[in-house]
Amino acid sequence: MKHVENTYLAFGLAVITFGCGSTNATNSSPSESGGGGVSVGGGSSGGAGAGGNSSVGPMGGVPATGGVAAGNTGGGPVGNTGGGPVDNTGGGPAGSTGGVPAGDTGGVPAGNTGGGPVDNTGGRTATGNTGGSNVGTGGVAGGAGATGGKPATGGASVGGAGGSAATGGAGGGGNPATGGTAAGGSPGNVCTGTASGTAANTLTVNVDSATAKINDGIFGLLMENLGKNWNGGLLVASSSTIANTSGMRNDVIQAFKDAGVGMIEWPGGCAAGSYNWNTNKSSTSSGELGTDRYMQLCSLLGIEPLIVGPGTSAAAANNLAWVTYINNNTSHTDWALHNFKVGNEVWGCGGNQTEATYETNYLANYSQLSAPINGKKLNIVASTGLIGNWTWFDAQVKNLVGKMDGVEIHDYVYHPSDIPNVGFTDAQYYNIANAANKGQIGPRIDRILQTLNQYDPNNTIKIYEDEWGDWTQPFNSASDSWLQQGTVMDAISAAETLNLFTQHADRIYMAGLAQGINVIHSLLLTRSSDSALVKTPTFYVFKMFLPHHRSNAKSAPNTLTSENITGNGQTFPVLSAGTSVDDQGHVNISLVNVDLVNTRTIQVTINSSKSAYSASVAQVITGPAKDSYNDYAKTEVVNIQTLDPSSCSVSGKTLRVTLPAKSVVMVILTPTT
């Protein structure tokens, strides 16, 4: 990532002096404004309730309908104060063992959003588990979602420490999860509103047209050796009192899992141009990750690696040796590298190259890397020119089609010298909110697709938008020139952009929020002096959006008609939407309302072969102020909460939702017939 300043745009990471200082980059690109002057840079055994009363989940959980929490043996939810169902009748079915009805094939019913353990981390759901299911007349809801749980695919979840999210659950900031419907029952409905009439905003979702799988890698991170990303972030001494695995903080690893991080790009960024992998491959230093630990980290997270090497002809043989070390490593036969980028920002920090020069350098690497190593084929990703240099981009795609599997796109909402990280004005907020959607990021994706569709109609070249996010002034430049507090604004901006990415899942394969820890638009903040860790509002957006890339979720085409809002002298859509459908037919709808003051109501129509749906999950992220943020040793003020049940309603295939001001909302619809 390299910092340039002109009227055009800037992005990248290099050594930067913020404020009145200058950068080490040159200004050589033509002028282009983006978004009104936004420039861009570099097992439960509880009984079933026969229509019993509801239990209330902890920390804002929505009432369950006659259910007992997963992992709880016949009482109220584990850890929930006063949350056990009242006048619950029916008990465990006769003849069942451990609360499982005879003949039950597993599957906690969809639609429960309350009553589960709070802050239960690290769990995974059981698939097709025959234990712990709740069954009852009219259907019984399963246990609530636990922090860090992944969606179940038709199975009951195991409660308690390390347990997973049950069907549709929502604990205190927990993930939604999805699962099966109990025998003889139907999914619960967390939307209890009765509003009718015509909404000013509409969304039509074409579920049966969903074909493009949303890749986990879209929810990725750039993490280069910069600021306190690694040193002071993930890495500690292996002898540290902070719990770690090979010198990597366990709490950070768990947080990345909980957020559904699907890719980490390393070692750059600009650091890739000078990185010596051979001397650092087995590093155990708290200041250097090294190839071995990078691959170990990817394995721990269950994600695809994305490595960036130098983008010159002279580096081609060394890049091949690096890939060979990974893909043909007899000590680590499980390692597999399938994504390698040749150079980074080659227009600037990657060698100040021209398009023609880079083509020569790229092809030298392609000839070395294109043959599979040990049966492991690479996706070879090309760098490209500065965003907006369409002459370069068009020529490169035209000339290299068939010889590149992906193309780098870097597009920041870039204001490191003119918009404060905290304390920004309403106008500055709206500047960023607009740029993250229709004012900048969206139109540029459209322009990129125009070229790709022209020269690559067979869709062989994928977009790797591996640097994106809000780049504002640092929180405290005197102490750390890279650290930004993540705010409500950053959550809203991130959600808007992720909605765009998911809607273009046929082309966008990977994306890297910049960056993971303590640097720019990060998911986490850490202190090296102790085990303190802060989860930013954007962390919770990633976590909320998990259903978009679990259970083989596919992007569902949609048509959004949104009211406009005017802010910072710009008029633009007030709402943003992303939609997907998974293997169980759950329709996941993420919505953003950027209005700082007013609620906005939207009517969603589902076009599908199903006849009716219920809402199994309805969640919201917002905060007291537009710049509210989470901080060390303080109660979180921005996280996932349950959406007021009266603010949404479902009838047949129509959902109506009133979105709070400055909010991100996720609603999951479950087919009932």
Residue 14 maps to a domain: no
Residue 35 maps to a domain: no
**Confidence grade of residue 12 (pLDDT, cut at 50, 70, 90):** very low
Residue 28 maps to a domain: no
pLDDT for res 187:
56
Integer Cα distance of 379 and 216 in angstroms: 16
Phi and psi at residue 342, to the nearest 5°: -95, 100
Mean pLDDT value of segment 288-305: 97
Q: Do residues 101 and 137 share a domain?
A: yes
Q: Do residues 446 and 378 share a domain?
A: yes
- Give the domain extent around 503: 216-549
Phi and psi at residue 589, to the nearest 5°: -125, 110
From 508, 528, 549, the end of a domain falls on 549
pLDDT for res 84:
34
Q: Do residues 357 and 370 share a domain?
A: yes
Residue 20: CB partners within 8 Å, gap ≥ 6? none
Three state DSSP letters for 291-359: HHHHHHHHHHHCCEEEEEECCCHHHHHHHHHHHHHHHCCCCCCCCCCCEEEECCCCCCCCCCCCHHHHH
Residue 207 has pLDDT above 70, yes or no: yes
Residue 5: CB atoms within 10 Å: 17
Residue 232 has pLDDT above 90, yes or no: yes
From 489, 520, 549, the end of a domain falls on 549
Number of domains in the chain: 3
Mean pLDDT value of segment 3-23: 35
Q: Do residues 142 and 265 share a domain?
A: no
pLDDT for res 422:
98
The predicted-structure confidence for 108-160, as pLDDT tens digits, reads as follows: 333 333 333 333 333 333 333 333 333 333 333 333 333 333 333 333 333 33
Residue 297 has pLDDT above 90, yes or no: yes
Integer Cα distance of 190 and 617 in angstroms: 6
Q: Do residues 622 and 529 share a domain?
A: no
Residue 379 has pLDDT above 90, yes or no: yes
C-alpha torsion angle, residues 649, 655, 659, 663 (rounded to 10): 120
Integer Cα distance of 41 and 387 in angstroms: 8
Q: Do residues 499 and 578 share a domain?
A: no
Mean pLDDT value of segment 384-396: 98
Max mean pLDDT among 34-38, 45-49, 622-626 falls in: 622-626
Any idea what the CATH number is for the domain that residue 432 is in?
A: 3.20.20.80
Q: Do residues 389 and 517 share a domain?
A: yes
Strand partners, 641: 620
Residue 569 Cα to chain centre, angstroms: 30
pTM metric for this prediction? 0.76
pLDDT for res 649:
96
pLDDT for res 287:
83
Residue 26 has pLDDT above 50, yes or no: no
Q: Do residues 561 and 541 share a domain?
A: no
Integer Cα distance of 441 and 125 in angstroms: 36
Residue 19 maps to a domain: no
% of the chain beyond a pLDDT of 90 = 69
Residue 330 has pLDDT above 80, yes or no: yes
From 510, 525, 549, the end of a domain falls on 549
Q: Do residues 433 and 543 share a domain?
A: yes
Mean pLDDT value of segment 287-302: 96
Q: Do residues 169 and 308 share a domain?
A: no
The predicted-structure confidence for 465-518, as pLDDT tens digits, reads as follows: 999 999 999 999 888 999 999 999 999 999 999 999 999 999 999 999 999 999
Residue 34 maps to a domain: no
**Confidence grade of residue 170 (pLDDT, cut at 50, 70, 90):** very low
Residue 33 maps to a domain: no
Integer Cα distance of 155 and 159 in angstroms: 13
Q: Do residues 158 and 270 share a domain?
A: no
Max mean pLDDT among 57-71, 178-192, 642-656 falls in: 642-656
The predicted-structure confidence for 635-669, as pLDDT tens digits, reads as follows: 999 999 999 999 999 999 999 999 999 999 999 99
Any idea what the CATH number is for the domain that residue 662 is in?
A: 2.60.40.1180
The residue written with tokens 């008990």 in the block is: 91
Residue 196 maps to a domain: no
Mean pLDDT value of segment 180-196: 65
Residue 96 has pLDDT above 60, yes or no: no
* Identity of residue 32: E
Mean pLDDT value of segment 453-464: 98
**Distance between start and end Cα atoms, the chain:** 50
Residue 11 maps to a domain: no
The predicted-structure confidence for 251-273, as pLDDT tens digits, reads as follows: 999 999 999 999 999 999 999 99
Structure letter (DSSP) for residue 481: S
Residue 103 has pLDDT above 50, yes or no: no
Q: Do residues 174 and 233 share a domain?
A: no
